[in-house]
């Protein structure tokens, strides 16, 4: 049974029109509306919230709310620009809903939100000197404090520093589960949709093109390059540089956090073949100066961290060594190390999710070098690795690949 149902919804906002928007959202579902800028995603959210006159029907828990006032709909709305009250401090912003309605267990809920979102030190601060990530957490706390039946999120990560987006995505997923919300999230970013959504609706030019499970929708986008969707508008290529090698007929993609799945989308888009894709994430290449010490060659990551190999290994500054990301273990506590292994400490710089393999890539800064580690999504959820977190890595020396070694 649907919790929220849009039935042939229409809406006119200036020259823009929504055309027969129809989909159902189940109770407790995280539903993502995905589409390029100007597709009508925000207008759909505002229509659900009661901010526009609409045609068709809008049902909430089988009750028609098409013409109900916004304050009668029990909906929380978080805009991409946060829309916090500049004349109120953080505490007053979060508790704002208590001014016009009675909040069940208000004190307990407030304390839980503040603790969960790490807002304790911000409560008495003004809004105008906070970071984007702090403002986002406050806007989410304010919306959840009103105890909405439905939470609407309009591009909640677009104004966030890329360094913190993965952490905020994790917060969104945890908040959705912790407070039993039904969430509609609008985005143009495939990575957000793949990580957060239970189901996805693709919206183009004011029309719903497709609705389905996350895997089904994203798989179809990859498998049907003649799809009517505009591939250039949906994925975000701002972090990727794509080179087409005419001689080999391949594509080499250099990217940051989106590389794990973006290569598939781009390869399909330019009409090339998966089998001839060159992917630079297959190994970690460590290049730099090795020094000799006794019977060993030493590589210094920083002043206190190093790894050593037997002197028989011929390693030049231009050769370096390579380590497969899946041969590296990562943890929150130091590993037990011996002569056959390398143990290091680093800081997570990026976290990326691969839809196809359901794996997580962690890029970990160790001194001036960055190592990539690939772990299962289940392992990631168990240990909660986030950007800026301190972690420990461990790998066997036998996993180190050297281009040339003396016999």
In a shared domain, residues 117 and 156:
yes
> 331-373, pLDDT tens digit by residue?
888 888 888 889 999 998 888 766 556 678 888 999 888 888 8
In a shared domain, residues 369 and 310:
yes
In a shared domain, residues 261 and 291:
no
Residue 15 in domain: yes
- The residue with greater pLDDT, 184 or 237, is 184
Confidence band, pLDDT 50/70/90 cuts, at residue 255? very low
In a shared domain, residues 140 and 179:
yes
CA distance 204 to 184: 17
Residue 407 in domain: no
> 163-175, pLDDT tens digit by residue?
567 777 878 888 8
In a shared domain, residues 184 and 258:
no
* Look-up of token digits 């799945």: 261
In this prediction, residue 403 carries a pLDDT of 52
In a shared domain, residues 267 and 316:
no
In this prediction, residue 249 carries a pLDDT of 37
Q: Which of 121-125, 167-171, 324-328, 346-350 has the highest mean pLDDT?
A: 121-125
Residue 232 in domain: no
- Give the largest Cα separation in the chain, rounded: 81
SS3 for the chain is CEEEEEEEEEEEECCEEEEEEEEEEECCCEEEEECCCCCCHHHHHHHHHCCCCCEEEEEECCEECCCCCHHHCCEEEECCCCCCCCCCEHHHHHCHHHHCCCCCCHHHHHHHHHHHCCCHHHCCCEHHHCCHHHHHHHHHHHHHHCCCCEEEEECCCCCCCHHHHHHHHHHHHHHHHHCCCEEEEEECCHHHHHHHCCEEEEEECCEEEEEEEHHHHHHHHHHCCCCCCCCCCCCCCCCEEEEEECCCCEEEEEECCCHHHHHHHHHHHCCCCHHHCECHHHCEEECCCEEEECCEEEEECCCCCEEEEECCECCCCCCCEEECHHHCEEECCCCCCCCCEEEEEEEEEEEEEECCCCEEEEEEEECCEEEEEEEEHHHHHHHCCCCCCEEEEEEEHHHEECCCECC
In a shared domain, residues 288 and 275:
no
In a shared domain, residues 251 and 125:
no
CATH number at residue 340: 2.40.50.100
CA distance 241 to 258: 11
Residue 313 in domain: yes
Average pLDDT estimate for 280-288: 57
In this prediction, residue 355 carries a pLDDT of 55
Residue 189 scores a pLDDT above 50 = yes
> 21-58, pLDDT tens digit by residue?
999 999 999 999 998 888 899 999 999 999 999 999 99
CATH number at residue 179: 3.40.50.300
Residues 22 and 168: beta-carbon distance below 8 Å: no
Confidence band, pLDDT 50/70/90 cuts, at residue 298? confident
User: Which has the closest alpha carbon to 26: 276, 164, 206, 199?
Assistant: 199
Residue 235 in domain: no
Look up residue 23 and give its two tokens: 């989909």
Q: What phi-psi label fits residue 96: left (phi over 0), alpha (psi between -120 and 50 degrees) or beta?
A: alpha
Q: What phi-psi label fits residue 63: left (phi over 0), alpha (psi between -120 and 50 degrees) or beta?
A: beta
282, 316, 351 — which closes off a domain? 282
Residue 212 in domain: yes
In a shared domain, residues 43 and 143:
yes
Domain count of the chain? Answer: 3
Domain that holds residue 367: 284-401
CA distance 251 to 246: 9
Range in 5-9, 199-203, 301-305 with the lowest mean pLDDT: 301-305
Residue 350 in domain: yes
- The residue with greater pLDDT, 345 or 380, is 345
Residues 78 and 145: beta-carbon distance below 8 Å: no
Residue 176 in domain: yes
In a shared domain, residues 9 and 157:
yes
In a shared domain, residues 98 and 40:
yes
């Amino acid at each position: 049974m649907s919790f929220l149902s849009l039935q042939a919804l229409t809406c006119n906002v200036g020259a823009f029109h929504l055309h027969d928007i129809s989909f159902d959202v189940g109770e407790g579902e995280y539903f993502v509306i995905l589409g390029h800028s100007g597709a009508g995603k925000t207008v759909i959210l505002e229509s659900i919230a009661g901010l526009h006159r609409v045609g068709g029907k809008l049902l909430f828990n089988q009750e028609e709310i098409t013409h109900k006032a916004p304050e009668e709909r029990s909906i929380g709305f978080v805009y991409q620009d946060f829309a916090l009250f500049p004349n109120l401090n953080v505490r007053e912003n979060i508790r704002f809903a208590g001014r016009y309605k009675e909040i069940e267990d208000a004190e307990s809920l407030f304390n839980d939100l503040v603790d969960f979102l790490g807002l304790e030190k911000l409560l008495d601060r003004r809004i105008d000197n906070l970071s984007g990530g702090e403002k986002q957490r406050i806007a989410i706390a304010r919306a959840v404090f009103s105890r909405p039946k439905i939470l609407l999120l309009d591009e909640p990560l677009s104004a966030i520093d890329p360094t913190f987006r993965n952490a905020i995505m994790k917060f969104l997923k945890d908040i959705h589960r912790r407070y039993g919300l039904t969430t509609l999230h609008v985005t143009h970013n495939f990575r957000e949709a793949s990580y957060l959504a239970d189901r996805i609706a693709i919206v183009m030019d004011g029309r719903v093109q497709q609705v389905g499970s996350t895997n089904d929708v994203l798989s179809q986008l990859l498998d049907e390059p003649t799809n009517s969707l505009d591939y250039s508008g949906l994925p975000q290529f701002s972090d990727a540089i794509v080179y087409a090698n005419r001689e080999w007929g391949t594509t080499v993609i250099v990217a940051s956090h989106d590389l794990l799945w973006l290569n598939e989308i781009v390869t399909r888009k330019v009409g090339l073949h998966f089998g001839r894709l060159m992917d630079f994430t297959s190994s970690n290449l460590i290049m730099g100066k090795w020094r000799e010490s006794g019977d060993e060659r030493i590589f210094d990551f920083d002043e206190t961290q190093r790894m050593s190999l037997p002197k028989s290994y011929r390693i030049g500054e231009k050769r370096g060594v390579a380590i497969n990301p899946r041969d590296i273990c990562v943890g929150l506590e130091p590993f037990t190390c011996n002569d056959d292994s390398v143990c290091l400490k680093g800081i997570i710089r990026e976290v990326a999710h691969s839809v196809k393999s359901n794996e997580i890539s962690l890029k970990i800064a160790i001194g001036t070098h960055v190592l990539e580690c690939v772990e299962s999504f289940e392992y990631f959820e168990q240990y909660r690795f986030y950007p800026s977190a301190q972690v420990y890595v461990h790998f066997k020396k036998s996993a180190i690949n050297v281009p040339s070694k003396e016999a």
